[in-house]
Amino acid sequence: MLSSCNLEFGFRKVEVAAGFSLRFKKFMIILKSAKEIKKMRRGGQIVAQVCQKLTEKVRPGISTEELDRVASTLIRMNRAVPAFLGFRGFPASICTSVNDQVVHGIPGSYRLREGDIISIDFGVIYQGYYSDMAVTLPVGNVSRDAQRLIEVTKSALDSGITQMVPGNKLYDISAAIQECAENNGFSVVRELVGHGIGQKMHEEPQIPNFGKRSTGPYLKAGMVFALEPMVNMGGYEVKTLEDNWTVVTADGSLSCHFEHTVAITDNGPEILTELH
Ligand code: MG
Please give the CATH number for the structural domain made up of 31-271.
3.90.230.10
**How much distance in Å is there from the Cα of 170 to the middle of ligand 1?**
17
**How much distance in Å is there from the Cα of 214 to the middle of ligand 1?**
24
**How much distance in Å is there from the Cα of 197 to the middle of ligand 1?**
8
Among 11-15, 42-46, 247-251, 255-259, where is mean pLDDT lowest?
11-15
**What would the 3-class secondary structure string for the chain be?**
CCCHHHEEEEEEEEECCCCCCEEEEEEEEECCCHHHHHHHHHHHHHHHHHHHHHHHHCCCCCEHHHHHHHHHHHHHHCCCEECCCCHHHCCCCEEEEECCEEECCCCCCCECCCCCEEEEEEEEEECCEEEEEEEEEECCCCCHHHHHHHHHHHHHHHHHHHCCCCCCEHHHHHHHHHHHHHHCCCEECCCCCEEECCCCCCEEEEECCCCCCCCCCECCCCCEEEECCEEECCCCCEEECCCCCCEEECCCCCEEECEEEEEEECCEEEECCCCC
Residue spans per domain, the chain: 31-271
pTM here?
0.94
**How much distance in Å is there from the Cα of 202 to the middle of ligand 1?**
7
The answer, yes or no, to whether residue 241 has pLDDT greater than 90, is yes
**How much distance in Å is there from the Cα of 127 to the middle of ligand 1?**
19
**How much distance in Å is there from the Cα of 153 to the middle of ligand 1?**
15
**Which tens digit of pLDDT belongs to each residue from 93-147?**
999 999 999 999 999 999 999 999 999 999 999 999 999 999 999 999 999 999 9
**How much distance in Å is there from the Cα of 272 to the middle of ligand 1?**
14
